[in-house]
């Protein structure tokens, strides 16, 4: 059986192909050369399964999406107290390159705006770290999060450094207030190199999924972050990731997210999923236009709004094969996690066996869970296999497979 999730993602991507609103960023000359038609999405579950559609393996510079991950590295390197002394956690309500400093402390308001992100970059590794060490820390740390070696786009970096007047001004101002120590141009260069690391939407989704698990990279199984650091980063993304649009985004879409001027976006839902999108045309706020629309669709279709509570916590799925029948047993609440687990089990099960889906221990099936279970059974049947349902509690009433047929029922 082929999982329906990539088909759904393809459909969502295709529906947006003709939407050409927005403009490619041009304040960095090299970014203006990007192919505006690129469109891709990736979704990685906390179990480490990645689903992609569109331009999933096209590289682009991470830009401001580096900010939450560099913040995570600084928290790991220097501890919460030191980082908090230098950079606050309040939304600024202003554009990404404003000089938003707190009145009393003169700290940048948060690590998502440039003033905060430049300060965070300067905190990496330790007090006496060299510029090269800080850059390598961000590159190697992002690589561990992504599960592959990432590299810097030297052309984009050089192009941005030639036009980095605003960031240099911010950094000099921070230095004058005693927030930033050391060689100001070297810090801005290091921050720009961090922004020039190349990623794909696949990378971004895995990086975000590492936040979603509370710090365990879900593919390699490596603990990369402390759970408290992952929580702090997700919370700051929710509060300030979308700059002056953060409140509206959280209410409307409800997925803590961060955008970059190259057209990437990353989103995360704790214990559920990491999402990466890419489309270079930006809206007037500087966020990827189609990226935002992809997030809206996912939030709506897949019930992904952070505050859309459904009372679900428990999920489990397991499969056993005996006498030509693969029995998949689910427990507790069936939503995204349990349903994708079930689909994975079906996908990898012996295709010569019939399938029995046992819901005896399930007490709730969410709307998404129901659609995924039924679609899984429909596809099993399309593969020429028997599809049998055991539902003594009646948690899946009227199990129409969508084509007018029903699975066979057993006691
Ligand atoms: O600091 C800059 O200008 C860029 N390197 C990154 C800005 C960015 O991606 C803003 N995001 N939406």
88-113 residue pLDDT tens = 999 988 888 888 788 888 899 999 99
Q: Please, are residues 75 and 116 in contact by the beta-carbon 8 Å criterion?
A: no
What ligand 1 atom has the least distance to the C-alpha of 117? 1
pLDDT at residue 315, as a whole number: 60
Mean pLDDT confidence for 6-31 = 94
pTM of the model: 0.86
What ligand 1 atom has the least distance to the C-alpha of 27? 3
Provide the 8-state DSSP code for 32.
G
State the catalytic residue, choosing from 5, 13, 51, 67. 67
State the catalytic residue, choosing from 89, 243, 328, 333. 243
C-alpha radius of gyration, the chain, whole number: 23
Gap between the Cα atoms of 76 and 69, Å rounded = 11
Distance 260 CA to ligand 1 centre (A): 6
In the residue annotation, 8 being an active-site residue is answered as no
Distance 349 CA to ligand 1 centre (A): 45
Q: Please, are residues 9 and 51 in contact by the beta-carbon 8 Å criterion?
A: yes
pLDDT at residue 349, as a whole number: 95
CA dihedral (107, 113, 114, 116) positive or negative: positive
Distance 62 CA to ligand 1 centre (A): 9
Distance 24 CA to ligand 1 centre (A): 13
pLDDT at residue 311, as a whole number: 64
**Which of 223, 131, 138, 254 is closest to 181 using CA atoms?**
131
Neighbours of 174 (CB within 10 A): 25
Q: Please calculate the CA angle 173-83-46 and round it to the nearest 5 degrees.
A: 125
Residue nearest to atom 4 of ligand 1 (CA): 63
Gap between the Cα atoms of 244 and 317, Å rounded = 42
pLDDT digits (tens, 9 = 90+) for 153-190: 999 999 999 989 999 999 999 999 999 988 999 999 99
Mean pLDDT confidence for 273-277 = 98
All residues at 6 or more sequence positions from 173 whose CB lies less than 8 Å from its CB, including other chains:
99, 101, 115
pLDDT of residue 199 exceeding 90: yes
Gap between the Cα atoms of 357 and 147, Å rounded = 34
pLDDT of residue 312 exceeding 80: no
Distance 234 CA to ligand 1 centre (A): 19
pLDDT at residue 217, as a whole number: 98
Gap between the Cα atoms of 397 and 377, Å rounded = 15
In the residue annotation, 261 being an active-site residue is answered as yes
In the residue annotation, 51 being an active-site residue is answered as no
Gap between the Cα atoms of 80 and 376, Å rounded = 45
In the residue annotation, 27 being an active-site residue is answered as no
State the catalytic residue, choosing from 89, 187, 261, 268. 261
Token couple for 257: 């997210």
Mean pLDDT confidence for 21-37 = 91
User: Please, what is the end-to-end C-alpha distance for the chain in angstroms?
Assistant: 25
Q: Please, are residues 396 and 406 in contact by the beta-carbon 8 Å criterion?
A: no
Site to substitute for ligand 1 among 23, 29, 30, 63, most atoms within 8 A of C-beta: 63
What ligand 1 atom has the least distance to the C-alpha of 164? 3
Residues near ligand 1 with C-beta < 6 Å? 63-64, 96, 114, 160, 167, 192, 195, 259-261, 286
Q: Please, are residues 132 and 67 in contact by the beta-carbon 8 Å criterion?
A: no
pLDDT at residue 35, as a whole number: 95
Whole-angstrom CA distances from 175 to 94, 96, 168, 184, 275 are 21, 19, 10, 7, 36
**Which of 86, 84, 108, 106 is closest to 98 using CA atoms?**
108
Higher pLDDT, 333 or 157: 157
pLDDT digits (tens, 9 = 90+) for 40-73: 999 999 999 999 999 999 999 999 999 999 999 9
Q: Please, are residues 58 and 200 in contact by the beta-carbon 8 Å criterion?
A: yes
Mean pLDDT confidence for 188-212 = 98
**Which of 378, 373, 301 is closest to 337 using CA atoms?**
373
Neighbours of 26 (CB within 10 A): 13
Q: How confident is the model at residue 240 (pLDDT cuts 50, 70, 90)?
A: very high
Distance 252 CA to ligand 1 centre (A): 23
Q: How confident is the model at residue 409 (pLDDT cuts 50, 70, 90)?
A: very high
State the catalytic residue, choosing from 3, 64, 205, 299. 64
**Which of 192, 198, 261 is closest to 25 using CA atoms?**
261
- The total number of residues shown for the chain amounts to 411
Gap between the Cα atoms of 368 and 278, Å rounded = 25
pLDDT of residue 236 exceeding 60: yes
Burial class, 167, CB count within 10 angstroms (exposed 0-12 / middle 13-18 / buried 19+): buried
Site to substitute for ligand 1 among 27, 114, 160, 188, most atoms within 8 A of C-beta: 114
Q: How confident is the model at residue 243 (pLDDT cuts 50, 70, 90)?
A: confident
Q: How confident is the model at residue 336 (pLDDT cuts 50, 70, 90)?
A: confident
Q: What are phi and psi of 367, to 5 degrees?
A: -60, -45
Residue 230: strand, helix, or coil: helix
Mean pLDDT confidence for 233-247 = 93
Average pLDDT of the chain is: 94
What ligand 1 atom has the least distance to the C-alpha of 261? 9
**Which of 76, 180, 94 is closest to 138 using CA atoms?**
76
Higher pLDDT, 274 or 92: 274
Tell me how many helices (H) and strands (E) the chain has. 13, 14
pLDDT at residue 313, as a whole number: 57
In the residue annotation, 71 being an active-site residue is answered as no
Q: How confident is the model at residue 231 (pLDDT cuts 50, 70, 90)?
A: very high
pLDDT at residue 227, as a whole number: 96
Distance 338 CA to ligand 1 centre (A): 37
All residues at 6 or more sequence positions from 288 whose CB lies less than 8 Å from its CB, including other chains:
22, 259, 263, 264, 265, 277, 278, 279, 280, 281, 282
What percent of the chain clears pLDDT 70, i.e. is strictly above it? 99
pLDDT at residue 27, as a whole number: 85
What ligand 1 atom has the least distance to the C-alpha of 114? 1
């Amino acid at each position: 059986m082929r999982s329906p999730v990539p088909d759904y993602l393809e459909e969502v991507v295709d529906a947006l192909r003709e939407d050409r609103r927005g403009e490619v960023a041009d304040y960095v000359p090299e970014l203006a050369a990007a192919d505006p038609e690129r469109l891709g999405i990736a979704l990685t579950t906390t179990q480490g399964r990645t689903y992609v559609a569109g331009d999933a393996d096209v590289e682009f510079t991470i830009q401001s999406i580096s900010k939450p991950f560099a913040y995570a590295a600084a928290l790991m390197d220097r501890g919460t107290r030191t980082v908090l002394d230098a950079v606050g956690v309040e939304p600024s309500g202003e554009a990404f390159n404003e000089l938003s400093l707190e009145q009393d402390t003169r700290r940048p308001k948060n690590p998502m705006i440039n003033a905060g992100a430049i300060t965070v970059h300067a905190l990496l590794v330790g007090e006496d770290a060299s510029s090269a060490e800080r850059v390598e820390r961000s590159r190697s740390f992002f690589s561990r999060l992504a599960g592959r070696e990432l590299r810097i786009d030297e052309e984009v970096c050089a192009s941005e450094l030639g036009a980095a007047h605003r960031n240099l001004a911010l950094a000099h101002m921070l230095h004058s207030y005693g927030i930033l120590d050391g060689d100001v141009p070297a810090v801005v260069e290091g921050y720009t190199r961090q922004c020039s690391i190349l990623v794909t939407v696949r990378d971004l989704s895995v990086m975000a999924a590492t936040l979603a698990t509370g710090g365990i990279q879900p593919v390699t199984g490596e603990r990369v972050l402390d759970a408290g650091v992952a929580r702090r980063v997700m919370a700051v993304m929710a509060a300030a990731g979308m700059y002056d649009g953060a409140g509206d985004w959280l209410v409307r879409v409800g997925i803590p997210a961060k955008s970059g001027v190259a057209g990437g976006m990353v989103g995360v839902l704790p214990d559920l999923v990491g999402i990466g999108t890419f489309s270079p045309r930006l809206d007037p706020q500087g966020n990827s236009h189609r990226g935002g629309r992809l997030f809206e669709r996912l939030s709506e279709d897949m019930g992904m709004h952070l505050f859309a509570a459904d009372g679900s916590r428990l999920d489990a799925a397991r499969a056993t094969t005996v006498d030509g029948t693969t029995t998949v047993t689910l427990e507790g609440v069936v939503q995204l996690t349990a349903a994708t687990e079930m689909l994975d089990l079906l996908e990898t099960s012996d295709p010569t066996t019939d399938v029995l889906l046992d819901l005896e221990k399930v007490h709730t099936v969410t709307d998404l869970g129901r659609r995924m279970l039924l679609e899984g059974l429909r596809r099993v049947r399309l593969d020429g296999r028997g599809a049998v349902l055991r539902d003594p509690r009646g948690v899946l009433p009227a199990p129409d497979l969508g084509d007018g047929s029903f699975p066979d029922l057993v006691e």
